């Protein structure tokens, strides 16, 4: 079965290692296509999105060698420019290959990318930005063909902050002829990781970590070895699990500096947060209190990817609170599922009003996307009785083994 079975009610205690970042490694793998040689990527998470990306890269004539959490990518033989529809359709991150492939081969043919259904995520900004760099794009009903006789630098002023568009334009710009400027660039740690990888390989990028990236195109990049940073969203999920269930948890390797907004939200709910260079210690002995108001925002604000997990924790907090979603309009898909467990949640457009309850009750639930699915698992860990979360495959897109990790902290859950 494609499900997770949970027997809830246990407090969490112990330590869990935080895996490599999903959101960082996918564009880094795309960046490896720009290098005519072998790149070694360490701390690569063993998740289905990575498996899909590696298979897609193999279809483009990359040679992939995986040994545990280390992946060696040899892109010397890259020649194909058409992406298999079955691979592109299951993961949105396949769009990251667009800028890199155009720089490497000059042409791309692909379907529109798939992924989680959490709201409108058009690729207009990607395509418009590439057109400014000399790419001719012909759109079809199910996809598009893109071709260039040579990428040229351009000035991009993004009308909205877009992580994906920023990443794609960076990938296209590092080997382009001339200079590229990206105004209103995303500042997420995943952008920084991508730029660090490319700079280590010989790219010329200034303004990393700011809203203005300046990229001077170079003739070629060289082979590089790079370690993927820890996943701040996985760390935040397990922090929220401690909020849900209570207990004392150490998140080994959690990236403290990237999680300031998350730690502040947890502290506002009554959790004790202790940061160190080794990770984050979370203590939640007393009953949670409702945060004064939680609003998702672009980095360094509270991440939309943790909205569902903290919503699960808020259902068990004392008092009433409001959670506002400003990034995706369809991120409250778990609300009906939480209501089945006894949660009291009222939806109002892009906000939910939560009235805390004493307990949640286990039941059969259905994951509909990655982060919401993980949130249902941690809600099940806090609930009384048995829960089953169906559609485990959504969760495995971003979590190496959520059951193993939570069981190492004292939860009772297993794959079905």
Among all residues, which ones are annotated catalytic? 116
Tokens of 123: 């690729």
Residue carrying structure tokens 């979603």: 325
Tokens of 170: 């960076």
- Residue 281 CB coordination number (10 Å): 18
The 3-class secondary structure across the chain, one letter per residue, is: CCEEEEECCCCEEEEEECCECHHHHHHHHHHHCCCCCEEEEECCCCCHHHHHHHHHHHHCCCEEEEECCEEEEECCCCCCCECCHHHHCCCHHHHHHHHHHHHHHCEEEEECCCCCCCCCCCCHHHHHHHHHCCEEEEECCCEEEEEECCCECCEEECCCCCHHHHHHHHHHHCCCECEEEEECCCCCHHHHHHHHHHHHCCCEEECCCCCEEEEECCCCCCCCEEECCECHHHHHHHHHHHHHHCEEEEEECCCHHHHHHHHHHHHHCCCEEEEECCEEEEEECCCCECCCCEEECCCCCECHHHHHHHHHHHCCCECEEEEECCCCCCCCCCHHHHHHCCCEEEEECCEEEEECCCCCECCEEECCCHHHHHHHHHHHHHCECEEEEECHHHHCCCCCCHHHHHHCCCCEEEEC
Q: Which residues lie below 8 Å from residue 188, measured CB to CB, with a gap of 6+?
A: 23, 163, 298, 299
Residue 105: HSE in the Cβ half-sphere, 13 Å Cα cutoff = 21
Q: What are phi and psi of 14, to 5 degrees?
A: 125, -160
d(CA 204, CA 219): 11
Tokens of 122: 């058009």
């Amino acid at each position: 079965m494609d499900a997770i079975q949970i027997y809830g009610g246990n407090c969490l205690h112990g330590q869990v290692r935080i895996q490599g970042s999903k959101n960082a490694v996918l564009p880094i793998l795309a960046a490896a296509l720009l290098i005519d040689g072998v790149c070694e990527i360490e701390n690569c998470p063993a998740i289905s999105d990575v498996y899909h990306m590696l298979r897609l890269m193999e279809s483009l004539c990359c040679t992939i060698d995986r040994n545990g959490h280390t992946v060696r990518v040899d892109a010397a033989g890259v020649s194909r420019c058409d992406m298999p529809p079955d691979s592109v359709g299951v993961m949105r991150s396949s769009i990251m290959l667009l800028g890199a492939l155009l720089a490497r081969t000059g042409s791309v043919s692909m379907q529109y990318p798939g992924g989680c259904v959490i709201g409108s995520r058009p690729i207009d900004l990607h395509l418009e930005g590439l057109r400014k760099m000399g790419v001719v794009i012909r759109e079809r009903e199910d996809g598009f063909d893109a071709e260039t006789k040579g990428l040229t630098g351009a000035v991009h002023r993004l009308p909205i902050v877009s992580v994906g568009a920023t990443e794609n334009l960076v990938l296209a710009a590092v080997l382009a002829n001339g200079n590229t400027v990206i105004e209103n660039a995303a500042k997420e740690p995943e952008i920084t990781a991508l730029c660090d990888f490319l700079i280590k390989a010989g790219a010329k990028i200034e303004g990393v970590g700011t809203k203005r990236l300046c990229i001077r195109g170079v003739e070629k990049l060289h082979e590089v070895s790079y370690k993927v940073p820890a996943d701040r969203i996985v760390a935040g999920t397990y922090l929220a699990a401690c909020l849900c269930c209570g207990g004392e948890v150490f998140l080994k390797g959690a990236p403290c500096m990237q999680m300031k907004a998350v730690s502040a939200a947890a502290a506002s709910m009554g959790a004790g947060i202790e940061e160190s260079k080794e990770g984050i210690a979370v203590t939640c002995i007393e009953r949670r209190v409702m945060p004064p108001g939680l609003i998702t925002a672009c980095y360094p604000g509270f991440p939309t990817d943790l909205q569902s997990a903290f919503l699960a924790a808020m259902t068990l907090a004392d008092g009433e609170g409001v959670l506002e979603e400003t990034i995706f309009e369809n991120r409250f898909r778990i609300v009906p599922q939480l209501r089945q467990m006894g949660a009291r949640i009222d939806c109002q457009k892009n906000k939910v009003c939560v009235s805390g309850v004493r307990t949640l009750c286990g039941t059969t639930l259905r994951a509909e996307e990655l982060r919401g699915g993980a949130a249902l698992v941690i809600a099940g860990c806090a609930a009384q009785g048995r829960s089953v979360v169906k559609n485990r495959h959504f969760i495995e897109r971003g979590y190496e083994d959520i059951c193993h990790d939570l069981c190492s902290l004292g939860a009772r859950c297993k794959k079905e």
